[in-house]
Amino acid sequence: MARSVWPKVAAGAALLSLAGCGWLERAERPAWRTQAENVCLARGLVQPSAYIEPQPEIDGPGICGLTHPFKVSALAGGAVAVDKNVTIGCPLIVALESWLADIVQPYAQADFGEPVVELEAFGAYSCRSVDNMYGAPLSEHSFGNAIDVSGFRLASGREIVIVRDWKKTGTQEAAFLREVHAGACQHFTTVLGPGADVFHYNHFHLDLAMHGSTSTGLRRYCRPNPPPDLQPPPGRPDGLPPAPDLDEPLDVARAALRPDPPPLDLHGLSGALPPPVAFEVKPAPPPVLPPDDVDSSPTSAIPLSKDD
């Protein structure tokens, strides 16, 4: 077995030497993320409480994490519980609070005559790729900048569940879900719901990814498209040329969790391949068999079939 160990040791040493050369340097989290967190806190937009508790910095794996994470168990001063504790950043807390106050609660009162008292969520912070697909870019969940909402509970205990009620067209529940989905598109930069793709049939994905700006304001990605009567009037153009369309719906980090080192340069400093090594192939000599009176049993106590 000892013979198979040394190649692994040598490979490990080679990787360490590559790390010293800078080939395995760790990628850095985009600076705008920490800047957004710092500005949010400096403006006092989120106040710590029994429901919004500051947590230690999350640094990694890879570029995942938050500088100032919060553990959130309720919003709206405790009036709207979250069915499970979620870890998110300051900007997302502000967006959720405004969405609840400006959109969710007014529509709940209009449609059901009672407020929402609980937000049902699949989760928030999670260091993973988009839709958990291998090789995909990192999701906004990897930065505490996204939350997946699966339903709402009213003061009477009545539940509105996205996977069940979205497709029931013509009902109060379906109307409410389409109203709060459309309203979310005014408070978040990415909103995905049933019909957006096969991954969002049972929840709303809400995030604050940076998609850039257009001549009428922030670029937002909202799917499925809300009906015209639920969309706000377009903003006033800023007079600049229109921004080009984006093919990529999510502006997310593309650094892998475990980046592979670049391939070794086999051409050397001169750029030419080294000359081939000449060797002569000779026939193998015949085997030397032991005499009949010599003990040929193995010297190792390990059976021959396992003696490497």
Task: Identify the CATH number of the domain in which residue 176 sits.
Answer: 3.30.1380
Residues 6+ apart with CB under 8 A from 2: none
| Residue 238, in any domain of the structure | no
How many domains does the chain contain in total?
Answer: 1
pLDDT at residue 131 in the model: 85
| Residue 290, in any domain of the structure | no
| Residue 163, in any domain of the structure | yes
Among residues 215, 219, 217, 213, which one has the least CA distance to residue 240? 215
pLDDT at residue 109 in the model: 98
Give the tens place of pLDDT for each residue, 213-253: 676 667 888 999 998 878 877 767 766 666 655 544 443 44
| Residue 272, in any domain of the structure | no
| Residue 54, in any domain of the structure | yes
Give the tens place of pLDDT for each residue, 126-176: 999 888 888 889 999 999 999 999 999 999 999 999 999 999 988 999 999
Inter-CA distances, 264 with 6, 9, 76, 261, Å = 21, 18, 55, 9
Give the tens place of pLDDT for each residue, 29-66: 899 999 999 999 999 999 999 999 999 999 989 999 99
37 lies in which domain range?
Answer: 25-230
| Residue 80, in any domain of the structure | yes
Give the tens place of pLDDT for each residue, 242-299: 665 554 444 344 444 444 444 444 444 344 444 444 444 455 555 555 445 444 433 3
Is pLDDT larger for residue 4 or for residue 299?
4
